[in-house]
Amino acid sequence: MTGTPSSISDYLRTYGPSLSERVLQQFPALHTPGDEPWPALARLKRRPFPAQTLAIMGIVKRWQESRSAAAIAECGTGKTLISLGSVFTSANGRPFTCLVMAPPQLGEKWARECFLTVPGVRVFLIDGVRNGLGSNGFAGVNEVRLRNGRVIREGLRTTLSDLRLAKTHRSALARWRAQVQAPSIWIVSRERAKLGYFWRHAYRTPSSGPYQGNVVNPDTGQPVILGDDQLRRSDFRKIKFAETVLADGPNGRKPFFSPLWQADNAKIHRMAPIEFIRRYLDGFFDYGIADEVHELKSGETAQGNALGTLAAACDRTVVLTGTLLGGYADELFMILYRLDPRAMKGDGFDYGESGIRQFAETYGVLEKVTTIEPSDNACSKAKATTTVKRRP
């Protein structure tokens, strides 16, 4: 065909080979179809298809360069098998610990896939960190097994509070590996993973003294200044307030963070499992898997923050999705920042609205619309309004 292409189809038909060569030159594949897969891959219970093998080895080799990877594929392509195969191959068949965060309706499906894919695996469901039983009638960490195609809770029962204890071993992980000498996978619903305690405001109102009737910080006994005014009881509604108390002279106390809220001991006593893992089981999990990650692209949400906590608590992380973004570049920002904040910071993107704007300007399309309103009379200037809209 000669002349200028008249459509996208003609353009790709004409320049497709050149474009593909350019892409491969700029972004060389980590694993090509001609490369030999690692021997551990052959030990899986289910043999992956060639395309799945290619994806598995790509993730494994990506983990050699970075702590995070992603498997983006349509429904039915076997993303669960790809992620489990990647973990097993990366561990070279040795015992490992893996934390899976999945939608609540897919917990038992994930457990079944683990049993059908990974040889010798032991699977555990995290049913919460709380006093008493949860809404499903269980609490703590419960082992599950596959019986006649059904996933039932049977076997080892423990708690995250007990798992964090090293006891007579070098570390909590060493104690676990001495107790369970097999690949072990923990599955937690992302709804349950972020479910923590109820909170209430924490402040005092002196009945005497110079600040009688005022709201004061319990840590300092001083009023809390917000801008040019001080906080009042009417300001404490559904918003958490906190204060950074500055140093008291060169030889006085050091600056510290003082929250004006606390756990409500009159309600359910529980802690978000993912927050407990980040705080007390850091380094316990070798691998982390986050399923349907496109649903965690929002900003300051508990489930979205759980993704960042998962990536920080696990040595290697892989995220799975069939629709990574809905057409706008900035939908990737929070996912990428939660997976590798150091790389995003190194690329010049700050966390928050300013970073999202920079990211959209770099990788997306922004449309600037300027509206000029006519002047009301001959003595006034026209009013110009500029609006920036994002485009697919």
CB distance 68 to 289 below 8 Å: no
182 belongs to a structural domain: yes
My answer on whether 90 and 125 are in the same domain is yes
Q: What's the angle, vertex CA 333, arms to CA 330 and CA 338, rounded to 5?
A: 160
Examine the domain organization and report whether 155 and 247 are in the same domain. Answer: no
The whole-angstrom separation of Cα 350 and Cα 295 is 22
Domain for residue 337, yes or no? no
Give residues with Cβ within 8 angstroms of 200, minimum separation 6.
Answer: 261, 262, 263, 264
Cα separation, 316 vs 343, whole angstroms: 15
Going residue by residue through the chain (392 aa), what tens digit of pLDDT does each one get?
Answer: 557 888 888 899 889 999 999 998 998 999 999 999 999 999 999 999 999 999 999 999 999 999 999 999 998 999 999 999 999 999 998 999 999 999 999 999 999 999 999 999 999 999 988 877 766 778 899 999 999 989 999 999 999 999 999 999 999 999 999 999 999 999 999 999 988 888 999 999 999 999 888 899 999 898 988 778 888 888 888 788 898 888 877 787 888 999 999 999 888 888 899 999 999 998 999 999 999 999 888 877 889 999 999 999 999 999 999 988 877 888 899 999 999 999 999 999 998 888 888 898 888 887 777 777 766 555 656 666 777 677 76
Angle at 177 between CA 45 and CA 117, to 5 degrees: 10
| CB 99, CB 186: distance < 8 Å | yes
Question: What is the count of structural domains for the chain?
Answer: 4
Residue-range definition of the domain harbouring residue 107: 33-197+270-291+314-327
- Collect all residues with Cβ–Cβ distance below 8 Å to 247 and sequence separation of at least 6: 253, 254, 255
Query: Does the residue 231 lie in any domain?
Result: yes
185 and 107, same domain (yes or no) = yes
CA atoms in the 13 A half-sphere facing the CB of 292: 14
Residue at 300 is within a domain: no
Q: What token pair was written down for 164?
A: 């964090």
Dihedral, CA of residue 131, residue 157, residue 163 and residue 288, to nearest 10: -100
Rounded CA separation 282/305 (Å): 16
Strands 141-147 and 150-158: antiparallel
Residue 353, domain member (yes or no) = no
What is the chain's Cα-based Rg? Answer: 27
Same domain, yes or no, for 70 and 23? no
pLDDT tens by residue, 16-52: 999 999 998 998 999 999 999 999 999 999 999 999 9
Classify residue 207: in a domain, yes or no.
Answer: yes
Residues 318 and 275 reside in one and the same domain = yes
Residue type, 334: M
Read off the pTM. Answer: 0.85
Residues 224 and 177 in one domain: no
